[in-house]
């Protein structure tokens, strides 16, 4: 169980005394439709529902705030906020965060214009192309790794998630690398009619992370064990099934 693993770290952690008996957690997320988004000043979406349901089941008072992603990451790293979501796993993050089990599964891949001759069967097919991506983010880091050593490829990294798709629609870039569901939501929001999802690159798992700076091992264990319970009992699947965007589409492989 998560509790057994995390308690091994308890003696090594130096936590503020105010966190000793924590029964309250603060979370940040971003405008990341269809996973999380703000409506009427409040956070909504399936990822938010999962986080809040776990809080309720664990008997922990929680707050969720929608923030610009760079600020959310900064607040978590500084201990201003306990956790953030949805996030991808990385070795760097694992040194700083307690990770839940994966709560959502999605994929990264390429979007292209309907009229283009874009092809991706091998990384060398990206030679000489301009590929737009939102970042800095786990998505942009994954694309950078994919294109490492590919001749002439140019990455157009922008801090606004709508810009890559606008540029693609206008023909200013050759492709967009994005989360499939996020890309589809943005295309619908922007009313773009000349772009489609072309091909999957890799499967992606999303997690909930709690900072080791200001979250006690006991609080983290309570919360993460509740997430595990929700997964085992099908509670998270039930939450996701109420959102039609999560109906799986055939892969273009």
Q: The domain that contains 92 carries what CATH number?
A: 3.40.190.10
With respect to residue 231, please indicate whether it lies within any of the assigned structural domains: yes
Q: Are residues 69 and 161 in the same domain?
A: no
- In this structure, the answer to whether residues 242 and 187 fall within a common structural domain is no
Q: How far apart are CA 5 and CA 14, in angstroms?
A: 17
Tens digit of pLDDT at every position of the chain (253 positions) = 566 555 444 444 444 434 445 489 999 999 999 999 999 999 999 999 999 999 999 999 999 999 998 899 999 999 999 999 999 988 889 999 999 999 999 999 999 999 888 989 999 999 999 999 998 888 999 999 999 999 999 999 998 899 999 999 999 999 999 999 999 999 999 999 999 999 999 999 999 999 999 999 999 999 999 999 999 999 999 999 999 877 655 445 4
Task: With H, G, I as helix, E, B as strand and everything else as coil, classify residue 154.
Answer: strand
Q: CA 229 to CA 8: how far, in whole Å?
A: 21
251 lies in some domain: no
93 lies in a domain?
A: yes
Q: Provide the residue range defining the domain that includes 12.
A: 2-18+25-105+205-246
Verify that 160 and 221 share a domain, yes or no.
no
Report the interhelical angle of 217-232 vs 46-58 (nearest 10°): 110
| Domain-located, residue 118 | yes
Q: Is residue 161 in a domain?
A: yes
pTM of the model: 0.82
Residue 135 located in a structural domain: yes
Q: Is residue 79 part of a domain?
A: yes
DSSP code, position 10: G
Antiparallel, parallel or unpaired: β 130-134 and 154-158? parallel
**What pLDDT is stored for residue 13 in this prediction?**
42
Q: What is the predicted pLDDT for the residue at 154?
A: 97
Please give the Cα distance from 32 to 162 (Å, whole number): 11
DSSP class of 80 = S
H or E stretch including 226? Answer: helix 217-232
Residue given tokens 């609080």 in the structure block? 219
- Is residue 67 located within the same domain as residue 119? no
Residue 145 in tokens: 């790794």
Check whether residue 91 and residue 114 sit in a common domain. Answer: no
Q: Are residues 196 and 75 in the same domain?
A: no
Q: How many folded domains does the chain comprise?
A: 2
In a domain, 155, yes or no: yes
Do 153 and 94 fall into the same domain? no
Q: What is the pLDDT of residue 17?
A: 38
My answer on whether 118 and 229 are in the same domain is no
Tokens of 169: 């629609």
């Amino acid at each position: 169980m998560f509790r057994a693993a995390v308690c091994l770290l308890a003696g090594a952690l130096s936590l503020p005394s105010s966190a000793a008996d924590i029964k309250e957690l603060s979370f940040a997320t971003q405008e990341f439709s269809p996973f999380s988004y703000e409506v009427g000043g409040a956070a909504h979406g399936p990822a938010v529902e999962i986080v809040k349901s776990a809080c309720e089941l664990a008997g922990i008072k929680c707050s969720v705030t929608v923030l610009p992603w760079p600020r959310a990451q900064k607040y978590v790293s500084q201990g201003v906020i306990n956790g953030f979501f949805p996030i991808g796993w990385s070795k760097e993050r694992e040194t700083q965060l307690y990770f839940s089990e994966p709560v959502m599964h999605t994929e990264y891949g390429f979007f292209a214009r309907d009229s283009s001759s874009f092809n991706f069967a091998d990384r060398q097919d990206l030679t000489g192309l301009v590929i737009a991506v939102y970042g800095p983010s786990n998505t942009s880091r994954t694309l950078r790794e994919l294109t490492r050593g590919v001749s002439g490829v140019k990455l157009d990294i922008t801090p606004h998630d709508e810009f890559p798709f606008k540029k693609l629609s206008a023909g200013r870039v050759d492709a967009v690398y994005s989360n499939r569901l996020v890309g589809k939501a943005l295309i619908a929001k922007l009313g773009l009619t000349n772009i489609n999802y072309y091909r999957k690159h890799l499967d992606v798992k999303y997690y909930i992370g709690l900072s080791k700076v200001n979250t006690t091992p006991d609080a983290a264990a309570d919360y993460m064990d509740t997430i595990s319970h929700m997964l085992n009992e099908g509670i998270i699947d039930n939450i996701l099934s109420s959102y039609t965007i999560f109906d799986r589409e055939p892969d273009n492989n």
